[in-house]
Amino acid sequence: MSTMTDAAPRAGAAPEPPAWISPLSAVRHGLLLTWRSLIRIKNNPEEVLGLTFMPIMFVALFVFVFGEAMMGDWRAYRDFTIPGITAQSVIFATIGTGVALNTDIEKGIFDRFRSLPVARSAPLIGAILGDMVRYLLTVAMVLLVAVVIGFRPDNGLPGVLAATAVLMLFAFALCWLSAFVGLLLRTPMAVNIFGSLWMFPLTFASSTFVPTDSMPGWMAAFAGANPVTHVTDAMRGLMLGGPVAEPLLWTLAWSLGLVALFFPLATRAYRRRS
């Protein structure tokens, strides 16, 4: 050991990592870690079950259990509530973003990435982008089930795509809030509980499942201000026809506001947490 010959040129030498991280390699790192998030979904049976079974159950339960009681005709209720269930499913899925981030940090996985010559932002970018794909899969699943039970929105595919785009924008904004919570709280369990706690009032006290004018005044006021109502209304308008401009503007405003507030907070918490 003491007669060390100078660190011999190693066989099958590793590629020399660049002396600095170019924006291009930062993007590459981010995409590689996005790939990781997606593989995790694929490898994880619970994740796959959540992505497929939950939409089936939600659509079936709401449409067939409440449909007749709500609107006297489950088909009318189906058309009313499918945009809402789509939004609700994705908004709930954003909790997973914070939980996954927290788990990765707790398990030291981000430490491993951070000890490599890898862009510091890459793990966060990978987590968020991977989740955007997860949200898209959720949308696709809900709509698939909806189509199976006869959902044929008036505005056709363009309407559906536009509504999906609006929802993805809002989900992108909301996932920074979830990321912030995930980076702030100690354990994945706490993140999950905290997330679910305010997700329920947010998604239920909105126009997702019932028209807001059926609610008592104070509740209708809350639901009217609730961004989930705006998102749902915008999606409804885009898919089925009806007013779009106002809810769309509100959705944009809320999304911008959420990003403006929680993107800096989350990235700061991310840099601090280690």
Nearer to other proteins, 112 or 268 (CB): 112
Nearest-approach distance from CB 184 to other proteins, in angstroms: 16
Q: Is 29 helix (H, G, I), strand (E, B) or coil?
A: helix
Residue 245 contacts residue 228 (beta carbons within 8 Å): no
- List Cα–Cα distances, 129 to 61, 73, 168, 257, in angstroms: 31, 39, 11, 20
CA 155: distance to chain centroid? Answer: 25
Q: Distance (Å, rounded) from C-alpha 115 to C-alpha 118? A: 8
Nearest-approach distance from CB 241 to other proteins, in angstroms: 42
Q: Distance (Å, rounded) from C-alpha 128 to C-alpha 228? A: 20
Of residues 23-42, those binding other proteins (CB under 8 A): 25, 29, 32-33, 35-36, 39-40
Nearest-approach distance from CB 192 to other proteins, in angstroms: 17
**Stretch near other proteins under the rule CB under 8 A, chosen from 5-13, 67-75, 132-140, 214-222:** 5-13
Of residues 187-226, those binding other proteins (CB under 8 A): none
- Kindly state whether residue 152 participates in binding other proteins, applying the rule CB under 8 A: no
- Kindly state whether residue 13 participates in binding other proteins, applying the rule CB under 8 A: yes
Nearest-approach distance from CB 44 to other proteins, in angstroms: 5
Q: Out of 22, 108, 133, 243, point to the residue binding other proteins (CB under 8 A).
A: 108
Q: Residue 78: which residues within 8 A CB-CB, separation 6 or more? A: 63, 67, 146, 149, 150, 151
Q: Out of 48, 116, 249, 260, point to the residue binding other proteins (CB under 8 A).
A: 116
- Kindly state whether residue 21 participates in binding other proteins, applying the rule CB under 8 A: yes
Q: Out of 53, 65, 112, 256, point to the residue binding other proteins (CB under 8 A).
A: 112
The tokens of 106 are what? 């707790």
Residue 207 DSSP symbol: T
Nearest-approach distance from CB 195 to other proteins, in angstroms: 20
Residue 178 contacts residue 94 (beta carbons within 8 Å): yes
# residues near other proteins by CB under 8 A: 39
The tokens of 84 are what? 């809402």
- Kindly state whether residue 117 participates in binding other proteins, applying the rule CB under 8 A: yes
Q: Is 118 helix (H, G, I), strand (E, B) or coil?
A: coil
Residue 82 contacts residue 146 (beta carbons within 8 Å): yes
Which residue ranges make up the site for other proteins (CB under 8 A)? Answer: 1, 4-8, 10, 12-15, 17-21, 25, 29, 32-33, 35-36, 39-40, 43-44, 107-109, 111-118, 122, 274
